[in-house]
Structure 1
């Protein structure tokens, strides 16, 4: 009986050992799996960050290219859709610029002109690409001349920039109400430099004006004296005389002084 009890005891010990080993193996397996998962996760996370960086760089490049493409664009709003084709639309745009805005513009100065969006019955805007930036700036400066024609102009901005400009309108209004000279430039609020003439008072501006020059005669009348240097200069100018030698170079003067007197042949025969 004792032997049976010992055998059972041994069996129980073996079972408990096996259970312990199984638990340790399970823990090791879990730890191993977790480590592998962590490694894989770190690899995926690193690759994801690299992809995000590349996407950001590509997006910046796309934004720059988009900005460059729209840089010379002007959008006309309110031009009635009477054209029958591209040439007809181009003629209408040229007529508006030349006759209504009074800006001399040739056909070659417009690279492209087309309507935006689908034809739904509403007047669609016209995007006009100008060949030179200077001409585009001139057209934008005279956009107020089209008020009577119910046509207005805007610069061509990407959708994200347009959204940003809308969000900045309230901030721009508040800044101007405080007296600041600010404008909306692309997608940022820019503070203009305050003019120095606006800060100074009229008295200070008059002080900084250049004083009128006073002639020497007026100075002499006011002071009754004249500097010795001025008298010397005036005397030198009065006494200066011009002769033929004043037009000769020093080398010519030396040659004339050192040349021997010429001897006449008749004189030598007489002697």
Structure 2
């Protein structure tokens, strides 16, 4: 009897465990479905907000770039001026001497040193031009500057991306390609010297091969024409001689 009771008890215990597992699974499933129903509109709303945020970030970045569009940063200008007006006169003199560009006072809307004043080296100078075309005129001639370096006034986001692209830029230049950075993108062009050599080789080689063939084709026709001409000439010369002989 004790054994039968023990078996019955074990079966009941196993059955209760199964029911508990099924009940837990059912409750968990119901809770998850209920949570999904409640979270679904929240997730959809978050996606919409994320899209709006990305658009706002793009707009803010474009506004920052537009604000810096007419700016140039000058590096290497000796820092001994007493005012921004004296600093402007320095910039004007540099552009006139090195680039032969005359800059008027009214063509600059703002000029100042960037950062805190150090004791060992001169701070960069930011110049804001009134017109973009004047800024572009200076940029095109910047290679002729002596002891002065000019850079665009990039946003922090653009500077970060340019820094990340530096290893790829160096790698492309090692390959012999023409590579440079334009704002936050890298521009890569193939080596024009190699391409020109290949084009010249392909363009000249067929002409050299075809020339003997043309000469070979022309030679037999010229010979045949000359032979026919000589033959007709021989016949024309032979006819009068026979007629004079018969008269005599």
Q: Same fold (TM over 0.5)?
A: yes
How far, CA to CA, are the matches of 1:158 and 1:166 in structure 2? Answer: 12
Deviations 1:189-244 (A, max 9, x none): 22347488666439969xxxxxxxxxxxxxxxxxxxxxxxxxxxxxxxxxxxxxxx
Name the SS for the 2:102 alignment partner: coil
What's 1:142 paired with? Answer: 141
How far, CA to CA, are the matches of 1:178 and 1:100 in structure 2? Answer: 34
Name the SS for the 1:201 alignment partner: helix
What's 2:170 paired with? Answer: 173
Name the SS for the 1:96 alignment partner: helix
Q: 1:33 to 1:164 in 2, by over 3 A?
A: same
Structure showing greater radius of gyration is 1
What's 2:100 paired with? Answer: 102
The match for 2:69 among 68, 71, 77 is 71
How far, CA to CA, are the matches of 1:43 and 1:34 in structure 2? Answer: 15
Deviations 1:141-173 (A, max 9, x none): 3323333xx321111111222222222222222
The match for 2:181 among 184, 192, 195 is 184
Which residues of structure 1 form unaligned runs of 5+?
1-19, 206-271
How far, CA to CA, are the matches of 1:175 and 1:106 in structure 2? Answer: 41
How far, CA to CA, are the matches of 2:148 and 2:92 in structure 1? Answer: 14
Name the SS for the 2:111 alignment partner: strand
| Residues 180, 188 of structure 2: 8 Å contact kept | yes
Compute the TM-score of the two structures, normalised by the length of structure 1.
Answer: 0.56
How far, CA to CA, are the matches of 2:87 and 2:68 in structure 1? Answer: 20
The match for 1:118 among 104, 116, 119 is 116
Aligned residues: 184
Q: CA deviation at 1:111?
A: 2.0
Higher relative contact order (CA 8 A, sep 6+): 2
What's 2:57 paired with? Answer: 59
Which residues of structure 2 form unaligned runs of 5+?
1-18, 205-248
What's 1:244 paired with? Answer: none
Structure ranking higher in helix proportion: 2
